[in-house]
Each structure stands twice: as structure tokens, then as C-alpha cells.
Amino acid sequence: MKHIYLNLKRFDVPASMGGVNRICDVKDWGGYIVKNTQEALKAYDPKAVEFAMYFPEAHILSAAAAKDEDSPVQVGCQGVFREDVTVGGNFGAFTTNRPAAAMAALGCESVIIGHCEERNDKGGILAEAGVTDTAAVNRLLNREIRAALSQGLKVLYCIGEKSEEQEKWQEVLGAQLDIGLEGVDRSKVVIAYEPVWSIGPGKTPAGKDYITKIATFVKEHTGGMDIVYGGGLKQDNAAMLASIKEIDGGLIALTRFSGEIGYYPQEYLEIIRLYMEG
């Protein structure tokens, strides 16, 4: 099974306000993306590939409402809180947070957890509190994964090493896997590998040999879990990633990196075509 994920981050913010959204009015954005991709995605065998899109919370309802009855799109959210609504217990005291029950009720089927941006945020908060235990973030993410799975959500769990961690990448990634997946039903989880050290302007992207090395390690370490490339599936690397037998898909974000940068549905579909035909 191949997995194609789309992390829409905050691409809903209009260009006039400093964002990259030039495709439609923000109130229509979630539904617009589903409506302009789901028909084309029906051309792919659902037994061979699945598609999940991670929307900012404000757009989940319109995205879910735009799905056809036979839509191949799984609507997802960008994280869940580590605690959840419980029968006879906490029924809603979660101001600012996203309990998994609420996300499932909105129509989510999947969630992305542990993205490097989330890891950085949690690590920064812990550092402000004087916490130096590097495993703390992984423990918090494990609780998020458990909460998501308990509500029937599939999970894309992101792992990756920073520049200063490259020399001990096996230790770093191993801990992220061991702690993050402790006590978890792994059949409902896919791993996304983010080479954090290579992501961003002016940095050299991870090459085929390096990605293959990491994917092989992850599969051996986890007993064969599916792993996708989380460093950005793009038009210019789709064929290369498709040639790596250890990689089971990819995570798309921006589709255009020059000119009017941003996410564009037709370019998203082209990236998928290049990967699936690669």
C-alpha cells in the first residue's frame, strides 16, 4: 500500500495578509481543495494507494462536507491533544486544544503527529520550563498517538534528526520510534521520515542513498512498518522517491517554490502522477 499525505499547514492565509493562498476565498478553502482533487484521485486503485489531507482545524467541516460518497480523500487534522473527552469525566474543558473526540466528530479520519514544527514547539516550551530530558517530547507524542487511535483515527507519525544529531541518528530515531510507539497498535500508524537537517532554504536535500539508509533502518527497527518520505514530495524528486523500494509514499506541502509560491490543487495532482508512474 502506498500513502500520499498532504500537510496544508497554514496555507489558507491570503497572500494579501502575508500568506500564500491565492486559490480562493479563505471561507471556501477547505471545500475547494477537496472538490478540485477528489475526482482525479478516483483514478487510482484504493487498494494500492490512500490519500489523506491534513487541514487547519477551521477548514475541516467544509472539507469533510465537500467529499463525495465515494471520495478517496481522508480528511485529517494537524495534531490532537494528549488527553481526551471521557464518559463520566472531562466532557469539554480543553480550551485552545484539540481532543481527538472532537476531531473525529468533525469528520477527521487521520492525524499527523510529531511533525518537526510540533516537535520544535514542544521542545521550546519544555526548555523554557527548564526540562532537559530529551525523551519528554517523545513521551508527549506517544500520549497523542494513543488518544488518536482510541478515537479510530489513523496516524502519520513523524520522526527526524537535526543537524547536531546526525552523528547519532540511529540513537535519535530509535528513541523517537521506541518511545513514541510504546503500547501502540502499529497497524494503524505510518512513519514519516523528515530529514530536518536538510529542510529549508539554502540546505542540501537528502539524497537517495541517505533516504534509503534511513528507510531500511526504520523498517528493520519497527518490524516492517510502512514509511513515507516526509521531507517534501515534489515534482523534482517524485521519480527518485518512487525508485526507492523501501519508501511507501510521501508527504506533500507546497507545490510551487518560486514565483507565486504556495499550494495549488492541479500541481498536487501532477506530483502524485509523477510519483505513481515513477
Domain regions of the chain by residue span: 7-277
Instruction: Evaluate whether 274 touches 238 at the Cβ level (below 8 Å).
Output: yes
Pull the grid cell for residue 96. 485552545
User: Is it the case that residue 201 has pLDDT exceeding 90?
Assistant: no
For 31-57, how does the pLDDT look when each residue is reduced to its tens digit (9 = 90+)? 999 999 999 999 999 999 999 999 999
> What average pLDDT is seen over the chain?
97
- Give which of 168, 167, 223, 225 is closest to 193, Cα–Cα: 225
The pLDDT of residue 203: 86
The pLDDT of residue 134: 87
Give the strand pairing for 154-159 and 110-113.
parallel
- Give which of 207, 181, 186 is closest to 195, Cα–Cα: 207
Q: Give catalytic residue positions.
A: 115, 194
The pLDDT of residue 276: 98
Instruction: Evaluate whether 278 touches 241 at the Cβ level (below 8 Å).
Output: yes
The pLDDT of residue 48: 97
The pLDDT of residue 115: 98
Across 86-97, average pLDDT: 96
The pLDDT of residue 8: 98
Q: Could you tell me the CATH superfamily of domain 7-277? A: Aldolase class I (3.20.20.70)
In the chain, the percentage of residues whose pLDDT exceeds 90 is 97
For 61-75, how does the pLDDT look when each residue is reduced to its tens digit (9 = 90+)? 999 999 999 999 999
Instruction: Evaluate whether 77 touches 108 at the Cβ level (below 8 Å).
Output: yes
For 248-266, how does the pLDDT look when each residue is reduced to its tens digit (9 = 90+)? 999 999 999 999 999 999 9
The pLDDT of residue 202: 79
Torsional class of 219: left (φ above 0), alpha (ψ -120 to 50), beta (otherwise): alpha
User: Is it the case that residue 25 has pLDDT exceeding 90?
Assistant: yes
Q: Which residues have a Cβ under 8 Å from the Cβ of 133 and sit 6 or more positions away?
A: 126
The pLDDT of residue 141: 98
User: Is it the case that residue 200 has pLDDT exceeding 90?
Assistant: no
What sections of the chain are H helices per DSSP? Answer: 29-35, 38-41, 60-65, 100-106, 116-128, 136-150, 169-180, 208-222, 238-242, 265-277
